[in-house]
Structure 1
Amino acid sequence: MINTPEELQHKLVELYPSLEKELEEEDGFDYGYKPEITYHHVWMAFTIIANECLTGSDIKTLKKFCYIVNYMVGEGGDKENSVSTCLLEHASQIGIIKIIKPYLVSGAKNELC
């Protein structure tokens, strides 16, 4: 389903177009080079706008989003680590835990903080 960070970015932007602007603004920083897109990079950018996006989501979109989260957790490795450390471990801090918890599988729920 998701084999590259670019595919993750594309799927999340399809659900939440404001992510594209967030990523573009991030790319506007002068690093002296274009930073590599990683799973962590995509999830960190999404976390900034997660509350706004998820609070305004209809159930269908929210379920699609949680399907992606569940998939990433189930894949393990870098995919799981990125969504866990960048999103799930901060879910209560960014005010999304009650929104996403009903749609997460047990493995993803175990990562919630």
Structure 2
Amino acid sequence: MVYAIKSLDKEQIISSERDRNPKRDALPIRILLVDSQEDQGLILSSLLREEGDEVTTCDRISQALDLFEKEDFDFVIVVDMPLVLDGRHLVEQVKQLKTKVPILVISSQYETEP
């Protein structure tokens, strides 16, 4: 089952980056890819790099937060992190640090709120 919270295409991401920083050429998009399963991350990062994007990968939430604080990413992708604890914590921390950075969460888990 797939749930889409909000879909963004590449042009929307580029436009958002230009709004945040008009002096910067928005291509390539700088992506932080956080994936607890290395094989999926390798495939996704390879596809993104083929599109010309800069991709930084990591497999731990603590490492992702450290990278996010030090570098200026345009987009964050979180793949198959335990959503209840780690994935949600990462999303909350990223939003506190930089509220306008889009985040895509890809997970085989889902929750329903009461």
* Shared fold, TM over 0.5: no
Higher strand share goes to which structure?
2
- Give the TM-score of the pair, scaled to structure 1: 0.38
- Give the TM-score of the pair, scaled to structure 2: 0.38
Higher helix share goes to which structure?
1
